[in-house]
């Protein structure tokens, strides 16, 4: 499933085309995706200008005029395609710097936003139909069921050792499981937790609460982990995310962070930390693969 860097990369790709444009009409080609569409979805978004395109965790948030937010989740295989409305279907897409060859699975084009000024089509394609879209009244989505329990964002200055300490204090769950908990840190997923823990030289099996001092403050290792999480996410965004199976950027190109993986999917390869003689191991935690170096990650 796309993680925060992939969603942020898509947001940045869609932003120049969506922001300031008006939705002429929304074309829904099925009754729903993971969840049914709002019965008046098309009517409610038609004619509204996109004032801003934000992201919260793994959600894209189109702030529409009239105090309405269109929240969109990519699911496991969702992607957006930007088309130039002046061209017939099957030709080149629009947008400065955007290009994508026609998809071979047009049957999975489930939602089309026909944009005005400038004219374009924003197509949501989702073969597995695990993505979804919902409408939220008001500009603050914090009270919405999908958002009300989301944790801190792993970008900017908000995530630091102290904020992690408050959330990890007393937790007897494995560190990796705690970081995957979206109520603690929003947007982190399996890949980037593995990579951040490797950078911080922390074992994914370590109990999360052991990184918090008795007085509730962060240990030096927790301060370092917070920094390494932020840097891992920033590096992944800069690389355009990671492409493993279904993920593509809004212009159709692939992300490249997978070529920088230090441990993820590198089982039995030498650890890349200088001077470490360990070999990357794979274990299963909560049904998901964890990759780490059992020698230098403690």
Query: Taking the C-alpha atoms of 70, 147, 221 and 178 in order, what is their torsion angle to the nearest 10 degrees?
Result: -120
- Report helix angle 161-168 to 220-238, nearest 10: 110
Are the C-beta atoms of residues 95 and 80 closer than 8 Å to each other?
A: no
Q: What is the pLDDT of residue 42?
A: 98
Task: Pick the more confident residue, 86 or 92.
Answer: 86
Going by pLDDT thresholds of 50, 70 and 90, the confidence category of residue 258 is low
Tell me the chain's radius of gyration from C-alpha atoms: 21
Is the pLDDT at 116 greater than 60, yes or no? yes
Report the b/e string of 254-266 with b at 16+ CB within 10 A.
Answer: ebebbeebbbbeb
Q: How does pLDDT run across 189-212, given as a tens digit for each residue? A: 899 999 999 999 999 999 999 999
Catalytic option among 2, 154, 204, 218: 2
Is the pLDDT at 94 greater than 60, yes or no? no
Sign of CA dihedral 216, 217, 223, 226: positive
Of the segments 103-117, 247-261, 280-294, which one has the largest average pLDDT value? 280-294
Q: Which residue has the tokens 């962070």?
A: 257
pTM of the entire predicted model? 0.86
Q: What is the pLDDT of residue 139?
A: 67
Instruction: Examine the residue annotation and report whether 118 is marked as an active-site residue of this protein.
Output: no
55's tokens: 């992201």
Is the pLDDT at 249 greater than 60, yes or no? no
Catalytic option among 55, 56, 58, 81: 58
Q: What is the pLDDT of residue 88?
A: 62
CA distances (Å), origin 76, targets 79, 103, 160, 236: 9, 17, 29, 18
Q: Please choose, from the candidates 117, 97, 28, the residue with its C-alpha nearest in 3D space to the C-alpha of residue 250.
A: 97
Catalytic option among 3, 8, 83, 195: 3
Q: What is the pLDDT of residue 86?
A: 73
Q: What is the pLDDT of residue 98?
A: 33
Catalytic option among 49, 129, 288, 294: 288
Q: What is the pLDDT of residue 118?
A: 76
Are the C-beta atoms of residues 290 and 195 closer than 8 Å to each other?
A: no
pLDDT mean across residues, the chain: 87
Instruction: Examine the residue annotation and report whether 220 is marked as an active-site residue of this protein.
Output: no
Instruction: Examine the residue annotation and report whether 30 is marked as an active-site residue of this protein.
Output: no
Q: What is the pLDDT of residue 237?
A: 86
Is the pLDDT at 243 greater than 80, yes or no? no
Are the C-beta atoms of residues 268 and 277 closer than 8 Å to each other?
A: no
Instruction: Examine the residue annotation and report whether 171 is marked as an active-site residue of this protein.
Output: no
């Amino acid at each position: 499933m796309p993680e925060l860097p992939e969603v942020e990369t898509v947001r940045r790709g869609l932003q120049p085309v969506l922001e300031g444009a008006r939705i002429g009409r929304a074309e829904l080609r099925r009754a729903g995706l993971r969840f049914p569409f709002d019965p008046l979805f098309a009517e409610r978004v038609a004619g509204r200008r996109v004032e801003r395109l934000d992201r919260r965790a793994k959600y894209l948030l189109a702030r529409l005029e009239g105090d309405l937010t269109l929240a969109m989740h990519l699911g496991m295989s969702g992607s957006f395609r930007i088309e130039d409305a002046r061209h017939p279907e099957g030709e080149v897409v629009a947008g400065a710097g955007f290009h994508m060859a026609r998809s071979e699975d047009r049957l999975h084009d489930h939602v089309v936003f026909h944009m005005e000024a400038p004219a374009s089509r924003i197509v949501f394609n989702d073969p597995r139909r695990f993505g979804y879209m919902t409408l939220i009244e008001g500009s603050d989505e914090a009270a919405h069921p999908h958002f009300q329990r989301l944790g801190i964002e792993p970008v900017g200055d908000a995530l630091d050792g102290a904020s992690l300490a408050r959330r990890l204090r007393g937790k007897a769950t494995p560190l990796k499981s705690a970081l995957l908990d979206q109520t603690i840190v929003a947007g982190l997923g399996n890949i980037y937790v593995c990579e951040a823990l490797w950078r911080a030289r922390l074992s994914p099996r370590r109990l999360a609460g052991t990184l918090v001092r008795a007085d509730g403050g962060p240990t030096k290792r927790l301060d370092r982990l917070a920094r390494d999480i932020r840097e891992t996410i920033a590096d992944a965004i800069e690389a355009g995310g990671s492409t493993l199976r279904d993920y593509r950027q809004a212009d159709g190109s692939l992300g490249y962070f997978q070529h920088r993986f230090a441990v993820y999917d590198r089982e039995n390869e030498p650890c890349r930390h200088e001077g470490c003689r360990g070999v990357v191991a794979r274990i299963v935690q909560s049904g998901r693969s964890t990759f780490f170096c059992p020698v230098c990650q403690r």
